[in-house]
Amino acid sequence: MKKGLFITFEGADGSGKTTQVNKIKTYLEEKGYSVVVTREPGSLELGKRIRDILLNYEGDVSDKCEMFLFLADRAQHVDKLIRPSIENGKIVLCDRYTDSTIAYQGYGREGDIDLLKHLNNIAIDSLTPDLTLLYDVSAQIAQERIGAEKDRMESSGIEFHKKVRNGYLELLKNEPERIKMIDANNSIEKVFEDTKKIIGELIQEKLGA
């Protein structure tokens, strides 16, 4: 039975969402909630090994191999950490989840979106987030934030970023109930205010607190 809450954080590289995950964790803990912060790829021991391949492997990685690695990491993550934590009444904050696969492997790498949705669903066994925050950032600001040190995914270039961003906006159009967009071009403090407001409304609605 579901007792906690599941919130995911999405956006293109350089959107600043990880900063927000950490700020909201502190904020919720100060209010007395029990919070689990996690991320994809690579939260657990096995996932860290997968993450290392995904972000640091220097050889050629086929698109299909990349897709299955992200999905394998997710399946383990849901079974071993996310679902048990929600069942234990925690608020789970997850930095990237299924929408990243649709935006990056689907729209970015031009994979089959229906197939990706289907495979995602196998990996998560229908564990859909209660809320997904989409941090939308322009390609230019994102590139400035990322700087010169890029990992394998970030090295895919500005055109790739634009495709990923458009993918997220398509997802938003299709699921406006679950996905809420935040303008991540703004200052960290303004973005945090927007984040707190939306999460506060969810907690009020679902936990009545």
Q: Give the one residue of 18, 166, 185, 186 binding ligand TYD; rule: CB under 6 A.
A: 18
Rg, the chain, Cα only? 16
Counting residues that bind ligand TYD (by CB under 6 A) gives 16
CA dihedral (186, 102, 67, 50) positive or negative: positive
Token match 């689990």: residue? 36
d(CA 109, CA 32): 42
Between 4 and 111, name the residue whose CB sits nearer to ligand TYD: 111
> In angstroms, what is the minimal distance from the CB of 12 to ligand TYD?
8
Check: CB of residue 193 under 8 Å from CB of residue 133. Answer: no
Q: Which residues lie closer than 8 Å to 19 by C-beta, 6 or more apart?
A: 188
Q: Give the one residue of 24, 35, 70, 77 binding ligand TYD; rule: CB under 6 A.
A: 70
Contact flag: residue 40 with ligand TYD (CB under 6 A): yes
Taking the alpha carbons at both ends of the chain, their separation in whole angstroms is 20
> In angstroms, what is the minimal distance from the CB of 24 to ligand TYD?
15
d(CA 55, CA 153): 6
Contact flag: residue 53 with ligand TYD (CB under 6 A): no
Between 52 and 201, name the residue whose CB sits nearer to ligand TYD: 52
Q: Give the one residue of 77, 96, 163, 180 binding ligand TYD; rule: CB under 6 A.
A: 96
Q: Give the one residue of 8, 38, 85, 101 binding ligand TYD; rule: CB under 6 A.
A: 101
Segment near ligand TYD (CB under 6 A); pick from 27-35, 36-44, 84-92, 178-186: 36-44
Check: CB of residue 92 under 8 Å from CB of residue 36. Answer: yes
Residues in the chain: 209
Contact flag: residue 192 with ligand TYD (CB under 6 A): no
Segment near ligand TYD (CB under 6 A); pick from 86-94, 97-105, 133-141, 186-194: 97-105
CA dihedral (106, 111, 117, 120) positive or negative: negative
**Residues within the interface to ligand TYD (CB under 6 A):** 13, 18, 39-41, 55, 70, 95-96, 100-101, 104-105, 151, 153-154
